Structure 1
Amino acid sequence: MQGGTGDGPHYDVVVVGGGSAGLSGASTLGRARRSVLVVDSGEPRNAPATGVHTYLGLEGVAPADLLAAGRDEVRRYGGAVRHGTVVTAERHEHGGFRVVLADGGVVHGDRLLVTTGLTDVLPPVPGLRELWGRDVLHCPYCHGWEVRDQPIGVLSTGPLAVHQALLWRQWSADVTLFRHTGPAPSDEEEEQLAARGITVVEGEVAALGTTGGRLSAVRLADGSDVPCRALAVAARLDARAGFLAGLGLVPVGQEMAGHEIGGRIPSDPTGATSVPGVWVAGNVTTLTDQVIAAAAAGVRAGAAVNADLVAEETRRAVAARREAVSVFSAPSEREVCDRVLGDRRHGV
């Protein structure tokens, strides 16, 4: 940490968001000998899940344990972690950013790395939120193995539901597509579903039936129950980035198979946004990133931020050197007078 800037401490980089992307970026920057602060609200998207999957070498690790280890690593390399929620970020006239927290705290950074993730906007079906991340699922690669060979339902709310059902069929032969509020399958899609043995159930879903706090059935509006152990839901994915609006950064739509699935903060492959000095990484900019991909994006963005700081420091060093050389090589007043008198003596 560098000296304060009036109303709060100053860092090379303020990382907003303490998930896998933010902590990986902060660790990368700490190893680059940067002063780093991670501001973390403590509300990770995957908190309800029992384990993180497809993370090489850490398969099944509890989300809380992974983040705790990440915070320890950041601190090991001199970084700081602060609990809080960022409400606004504004640019200083002289460069850098002023970041205001919900508790009134203020911090300053030469660069911002935003890794706040996304919010899953679930369909308004009673019981979905309570079982989200355990029996109500979104990603077969994250959770498919854990519910393999069990009755799996797919809640249709949009045009990608058939694709979703066909995908989940890889993990179980017992898959049911609940039409709910989604569009009717096309003739081609009906043939695909039939060929894969996927049952289509008409009617809206009214609620979820549970046994011992776990999903046991999907209850239709007509009162009938369909046995179900897991329910796949395509939630809308919206970046958590409201505080960036003051810097001119607002979400744009991200599409999958020609259909919008949510809103993301656009960036280049390194995570750099259209606002100089602001980078993003993880689900805030790539909605479909899994945990390991978000961590990799954090490393990539952290390296890009450090390179940008190195470039700026080099420019300043060159300018300072040129000024010093200019002052050192400039003739003194006595030397100028001697030269003038010498010229006169020689008739110049």
Structure 2
Amino acid sequence: MHYDVIVIGGSYAGMAAALQLVRARRAVLVIDAGERRNRFASHSHGFLGQDGVPPSEIAASARRQLDAYPTLTWLEGRVEAVTGRADEFTVATSDGGSHHGRRILLATGVADQLPAVEGLAERWGKSIFHCPYCHGYELGQGRIGIVGCSPISIHQAELLTDWGSVTLLVNAAVDLSQEDGAALERRGVTIEESPIVRIEGHADVAMADGRLLRFAGLFTATRTSPSGSLAEAMGCALEEMPMGIQVRTDAESKTTVTGVFACGDVARAPHSVSLAVGNGAMAGAQVHRSLLWPETIAPTHAVGRVR
């Protein structure tokens, strides 16, 4: 079968895009590896109509709604390569399959590169987070620790003061200028210079000087990059952003490769479920537009790698 659109990635952005396309009665194939970024979190917050619902339930409900459309095909698997050109793409999957489509929409999401702190990875999404709008309220205005990892940690510490009493754990990873220190002090942020030994318990931080600092929750600013190397292998330009690397897109979700679009966390920041859904819905509409008016398919930005 030759699909109108092949969506690579079936999480929130990918499903939102697919919904717009199947409602336009287009033949859509979604290929999903089943690795949602927020799979470690027990509940999702800040998403209107789904506040406090487990991420797995949101995804399952969305999938059921998509399955009601006869032009949708869903394949659980992993994409190995994409070749060809607009209107004649071929997608090879890990099971040896070969699938053909007119447009490609990348909704593969991103991978989080966590700070190398003992005990952090095991608590990621449970008591250690990156988004205050998603998880800050549930901490009940308790003590919040910021595990320093980059200059963004300074901004994160200032921002989180609306959710509780904040301590910035510098951990030899953040260079604070006098101006930075003064700004943090004005916001009531406590600065801890002693290195972190490990994180234990719920969100307790063992410091190199022997103290154990207890927090209601911890935040850190992860560095992100596209999940897998597919976009780069296809020739899509990547760009360096404050939070990491993302696929370069224009205002119409087009990548630098004609006929290839991208949406969700892999193509935009900041990251949250609600923002991914909104961006995915818009991307789906833009892909549909390119099918109706092929003369609009060319990217509007300069072609070439940013990095």
Structures share a fold, TM > 0.5? Answer: yes
2:14 paired with 1:22: yes
Is the contact made by 1:86 and 1:101 (CA closer than 8 Å) also made in structure 2? yes
How far apart are 1:237 and its partner, in Å? 1.2
Q: Aligned pair 1:288/2:270, yes or no?
A: yes
Gaps (5+ residues) in structure 1? 4-9, 255-259, 314-348
| 1:185 match | 176
Alignment partner of 1:55 is 2:47:
yes
TM-score (norm 1): 0.81
Change (3 A) 1:209 1:243: same
The yes-or-no answer on 1:39 pairing with 2:31 is yes
1:177 touches 1:198 (CA, 8 Å); kept in 2? Answer: yes
Pairing 1:145–2:132 present: no
Task: Report what 2:84 is aligned to.
Answer: 91
Higher relative contact order, chain-length normalized (CA < 8 Å, sep 6+): 2
**What SS does the corresponding residue of 2:243 show, helix, strand or coil?**
strand
In the TM superposition, residue 135 of structure 1 has moved relative to its aligned partner by: 0.6
| Correspondence for 1:199 | 190
The one-letter code of the counterpart of 1:209 is E
1:241 is displaced (CA, Å) by: 4.8
Whether the 8 Å contact between 2:171 and 2:196 is mirrored in structure 1 is: yes
* Paired residues of 1:15 and 1:39 also in contact (CA < 8 A): yes
Deviation at 1:192, TM superposition (A): 2.5
2:124 aligned to 128, 132, 135, which one?
132
Distance 2:45 2:30 in 1: 24
User: One-letter code of the match for 2:144?
Assistant: I
Cα distance in 2 for residues equivalent to 1:99 and 1:242: 14
- Whether the 8 Å CA contact 2:237–2:256 is kept in 1: the answer is no
Identity of aligned residues (%): 36
**1:109 corresponds to:** 101
Contact 1:90–1:246 (CA<8 Å) still a contact in 2?
no
1:80 equivalent among 73, 83, 96:
73
Q: Which amino acid aligns with 2:275?
A: A
C-alpha distance in structure 2 between counterparts of 1:153 and 1:66, whole Å: 29
Q: Find the aligned partners of 2:239 and 2:183 in 1 and give their Cα distance.
A: 33
What are the equivalent positions in structure 2 for 1:291-310 lying under 5 Å apart? 291-310=273-292
Deviates most, 265-274 or 197-206: 197-206
Contact 2:172 2:193 in 1 (8 A): no
How many residue pairs end up in the alignment? 294
Q: Which residue in 1 is equivalent to 2:218? A: 231
Hey, what does 1:329 align to over in structure 2? none
Q: 5+ residue gaps in structure 2?
A: 296-307
Moved more, 23-32 or 180-189: 180-189
1:337 corresponds in structure 2 to none
Shift of 1:168: 0.9
Are residue 269 (structure 1) and residue 251 (structure 2) matched? yes
Shift of 1:289: 3.0
Greater CA radius of gyration, 1 or 2? Answer: 1
Are the equivalent residues in 2 in contact too, given 1:96–1:110 (CA < 8 A)? yes
Query: Structure 2 length as normaliser, TM-score?
Result: 0.91
Give how far 1:122 is off: 0.3
CA displacement 1:90-143 (0-9 Å, x = unmatched): 115x84211111222221111111101111100111111111011111011111
For 2:94 and 2:33, locate their aligned partners in 1 and report how far apart those are by CA, in whole Å.
10
CA distance in 2, matches of 1:11, 1:70: 21
Note the aligned Cα RMSD (angstroms). 1.7
CA deviation profile, 1:139-158 (whole Å, cap 9, x unmatched): 11111101132111011111
Task: Give every structure 1 segment of 4 or more consecutive aligned residues whose post-TM-superposition deviation is greater than 6 Å.
Answer: none
Worse-matched range after superposition: 128-137 or 182-191: 182-191
